[in-house]
Structures are given as C-alpha cells and as structure tokens.
Amino acid sequence: MRLVARLSRWLALEGMDVEGLGASEVDRFVRTRRAAGPQLRSIKALQPLLAYLQSRGVVLPSPRAPDDPADELLERYQRYLAIERGLGKATADVYARMVRPFLRHRLSSDGRALDLAGLAATDVVTFVVARCPQLSRGAASLTVTALRSLLTFLHVEGLIAQSLAACVPSVAGRRLAGLPKGLDCDLVQRLLTSCGRDTSNGCRDFAVLTMLVRLGLRAGEVAKLKLDDLDWRTGEILVRGKGNCIEHLPLPADVGEAVAAYLRHGRPRTAQGRTVFVRVRAPHNALTSAGVSQIVAAAGCRTGLGRIHAHRLRHTAASAMLRAGASLPEVGQVLRHRRALTTAIYAKVDREALRTIARPWPGEVA
C-alpha cells in the first residue's frame, strides 16, 4: 500500500493520471525512488499493481522485450534437468544461475544468437580459469559441476558436435577435509529454551528446531512437510527429500509432541494450504526453506551463538546418534545419504570409536 501511495503522489506531482502510465513512466518512477533511497530496488515490486491495471484495461501492456537466446537455452536446460535428470526446481535454478555467465560469453555481438558451433575445449578451460578464482571453493566446485552438466546437455541436444564435459577442470579441494560442526547438548537445549512456547511464533519455532535437531532434516524438507505426511497411528513421517525422493522416518515422541502442540495452539486457523508450518504474519502461506533457515538463525542470535545455519543442526543430529551408539550405516539411513562416503565424515567426531584405534603415545608423559 505504501508503494501504491508513493506512485499516486508521484503521478500527481508529474501532472499525470493513471491512464498515462506507460513503460517509460514506470522506468522514471523507479529511478526517482532509487534516488530517494533503497526502498525500491527493481520494477518487480510494481508487477502486481501493473498486472492488475492491465487486466482492467487501464494501462496498456508493456511491449515484450525480445527473447534472450541465453535465457531461452537455459529454460530448455532446466526442463532437461527436471525431466531427464530428476533434479528439483531449486537445484535446477542454481545450475542455470551458475552457467549463465558461460553462455553470456558465447553471445554474438548483437546479442541475438549464441555461438556454440565453434565451442572448443580451450574456451571451456579459459572460462573456468577466469571465473573460479573469484568464487569460494564451494561455489567454484558447483560451477564446474553445473558446467559439465550443461555441456552434456548441449551434446545431447545436438548443439555441439562432441561432449566437452571431460574438458572441464576440477576444483582443488580434498573431500572430507573438514569437520562437521555440530552443537553440544547444552547449546541445543539453549536453542530450544529460547523459543517462548506461550506464543504461536515460539510454538512453531520450537517444533521446527526440534524436528531439525532430532531427525536431521534439511530446511527444504521441513518446509515441504504436509499434514498428510504425519502418520500419527504408526508413528511415522513422510519426507520429501532431494531429487524428489520420498522416504519414511520414525516420528520420535518428543518431535510428535512439539508438532502436535503447534498444530493445536500455534498454527493459524486461516492457514493457506496443507503444509504443516506456515508464516506467522498474514497471509499465512507455506513457510519456505529460507524461512526455516531464518528461524534457526534467529534462535542462534537469541542465545548468543551468532548466526547458525539450518544444516548445522543436521550435523548435530548425526553427532548425537553417534554418541548414543549408532553405527555409521545407521546414521546414513536416517540422514538418507545415497553414498556411504558422504556419511564417512562423521567418523572424525566419533571419539569413542577413534579411541579404540588410537595408538599409545611413545615414551612416558612428561
């Protein structure tokens, strides 16, 4: 409503009515608001209002900009990832974002076509060598992975004569080099205690944190949880994981109690849809994965631990299972790892098992 009021005042100052609002006028308004402050960063905030005015015939639709050949190809690539490779939309979006600079380098001088026929291995290596030093190790590793996937897609589509995926250099970095950063039991208790369960907001946050700590779910898996996924009779929960994998996990009693308390006392009656966790403020739409991450970050700030990422609670759940005597294969089953090597990193924090293979220090202790 504030944006509508500002637009109305700007039209009055310019001596125009809403019928005179066109693409150039919208662009002028956006530039004016940017100069006044950071409240309006792009035209996207105006799209709902403009769409409504266009549907009422008050404002003429803006002329459609010519299609970007790179964006057109990326849309086809994302459909390929979703249909042929079985990746989720969020992952496909990340892959497309990572390889967009590579395709932008292949645009013709007029920007209307992509030069892919002359693509060679040297072009691929040159891009990786120039791009990756600007990124973190994780982002660089994801970039080369996405680039290999794109080059495979281009070959499958017949846009390049041979696959150049093998020409993409690898990013230096040893697997399993770091340590999983879990939280100690007392810190976990401080996180949970920081949620005031006498409010709907605190009731929801407590249920989310309990689910993350006890089951080791990912933020996106908690956000996608639906009411029908909770089988109270059998004590199971259905999890929609990465790659559209659907698996069942046992529902611990404390997790069930926290979720049930939220459903009884915290979830708004006006909640939209069938997702378990929804926004506190209206409209009460489904909570996103970013919203789940924000819950964890806010709890960390309340307890003086700083900003904590939701995935750190997944490490916490794995470490807790190891301390309780679970084996690595059992931990991998709960975390739903596809490869045993992914779970192997937790062997570094299994102190009891490490003591059995540690050799005694030579000589006497000084």
| 40: pLDDT strictly greater than 70 | no
The per-residue pLDDT for 47 is 72
The per-residue pLDDT for 288 is 92
| 182: pLDDT strictly greater than 90 | no
Q: Give the pLDDT mean for 36-45.
A: 60
Question: Is the CB of residue 184 less than 8 Å from the CB of residue 178?
Answer: no
The per-residue pLDDT for 64 is 45
More confident residue, 222 or 30: 222
Q: How many other C-beta atoms lie within 10 A of the C-beta of residue 248?
A: 12
Q: Give the pLDDT mean for 116-143.
A: 90
| 234: pLDDT strictly greater than 60 | yes
**Residue 364 backbone phi and psi in degrees, to 5:** -90, 150
Q: Give the pLDDT mean for 264-275.
A: 91
- State which amino acid sits at residue 242: K
Please, which pLDDT band fits residue 66 given cuts at 50, 70 and 90? very low
3-state helix/strand/coil string of the chain: CHHHHHHHHHHHHHCCCHHHCCHHHHHHHHHHHHHHCCCCCCHHHHHHHHHHHHHCCCCCCCCCCCCCHHHHHHHHHHHHHHHCCCCCHHHHHHHHHHHHHHHHCCECCCCCCECCCCCCHHHHHHHHHHHHHHCCHHHHHHHHHHHHHHHHHHHHCCCCCCCCHHHCCCCCCCCCCCCCCCCCHHHHHHHHHCCCCCCHHHHHHHHHHHHHHHHCCCHHHHHCCEHHHEECCCCEEEEECHHHCEEEEECCHHHHHHHHHHHHHCCCCCCCCCECCECCCCCCCECCHHHHHHHHHHHHHHCCCCCCCHHHHHHHHHHHHHHCCCCHHHHHHHHCCCCHHHHHHHHHHCHHHHHHHCCCCCCCCC
Q: Give the pLDDT mean for 239-247.
A: 86
**Distance in angstroms (rounded) separating the CA atoms of residues 209 and 310:** 9
Q: What tokens were used for 187?
A: 């810190």
**Distance in angstroms (rounded) separating the CA atoms of residues 318 and 328:** 9
Question: pLDDT for 344-364, tens place per residue?
Answer: 888 777 776 777 777 777 766
Q: Which residues are catalytic?
A: 218, 242, 311, 314, 337, 346
Query: Domain segments of the chain: what residues?
Result: 2-55, 69-167, 185-353
Whether omega before 283 lies within 30 degrees of 0, making that bond cis, reads yes
- Rounded to the nearest 10 degrees, the angle between the axes of helix 310-323 and helix 328-335 is 150
**Residue 303 backbone phi and psi in degrees, to 5:** -95, 5
Question: pLDDT for 73-99, tens place per residue?
Answer: 999 999 999 998 888 888 899 999 999
Q: Give the pLDDT mean for 168-182.
A: 75
> How is domain 69-167 classified at the architecture level of CATH?
Orthogonal Bundle (1.10)
Q: What tokens were used for 230?
A: 């909770």
Question: Is the CB of residue 228 less than 8 Å from the CB of residue 274?
Answer: yes
Q: Give the pLDDT mean for 235-245.
A: 88
**Percent share of the chain, pLDDT over 90:** 44
What average pLDDT does the chain have? 84
User: Cα 31 vs. chain centroid, distance in angstroms?
Assistant: 31
> 210: number of CA atoms within 13 Å, CB side?
23
| 4: pLDDT strictly greater than 80 | no
Domain 185-353 = CATH 3.40.1110.10: no
| 63: pLDDT strictly greater than 60 | no
**Distance in angstroms (rounded) separating the CA atoms of residues 254 and 193:** 14
